[in-house]
Amino acid sequence: GEDVEQSLFLSVREGDSSVINCTYTDSSSTYLYWYKQEPGAGLQLLTYIFSNMDMKQDQRLTVLLNKKDKHLSLRIADTQTGDSAIYFCAENNNAGNMLTFGGGTRLMVKP
């Protein structure tokens, strides 16, 4: 079955880079995603990557995809206190456009 795994917690200092890692099992996924959940709110799509790409950059965000190892990472450059949130990795299921989410990584940014 599908499984998406992430570490539970990451703490960084303001201004440093953050790297959040994720592993997934469904090699047929066409898209992989990073969602952000701020306190008391629902999830919002932060970025996504098509499975035939190995990197995507969007301002301070860099997504790296290693399909061979089924590993996805999100790098946040110059991390700010406003980046403190829970970050969810997700993959889509080709049959029916379902998403499978990881358990979420809580990012804490210290001033």
Partner 1 sequence: DADVTQTPRNRITKTGKRIMLECSQTKGHDRMYWYRQDPGLGLRLIYYSFDVKDINKGEISDGYSVSRQAQAKFSLSLESAIPNQTALYFCATSDARPSYNEQFFGPGTRLTVL
| Residue with smaller CB distance to partner 1, 12 or 99 | 99
Shortest approach of partner 1 to residue 72 CB, angstroms? 14
| Residue with smaller CB distance to partner 1, 7 or 17 | 7
Q: Report residue 90 as tokens.
A: 């997700």
List CB contacts of 92: < 8 A, sequence separation 6 or more: 29, 30, 31, 32, 33, 98, 99, 100
Shortest approach of partner 1 to residue 95 CB, angstroms? 12
For residue 20, give the DSSP letter: E
* Residue list 12-41, contact with partner 1 (CB under 8 A): 30-31, 40-41
Distances (CA, A) of 105 to 14, 24, 36, 85: 17, 15, 10, 8
* Residue list 39-98, contact with partner 1 (CB under 8 A): 40-45, 48, 50, 88, 92, 96-98
| Residue with smaller CB distance to partner 1, 97 or 111 | 97
Q: Can you name the residues that pair with 100 across neighbouring β-strands?
A: 91
Shortest approach of partner 1 to residue 109 CB, angstroms? 20
Contact 90, 6 (CB under 8 A): no
Per CB under 8 A, residues contacting partner 1 are 4, 8, 30-31, 40-45, 48, 50, 88, 92, 96-99, 101-104
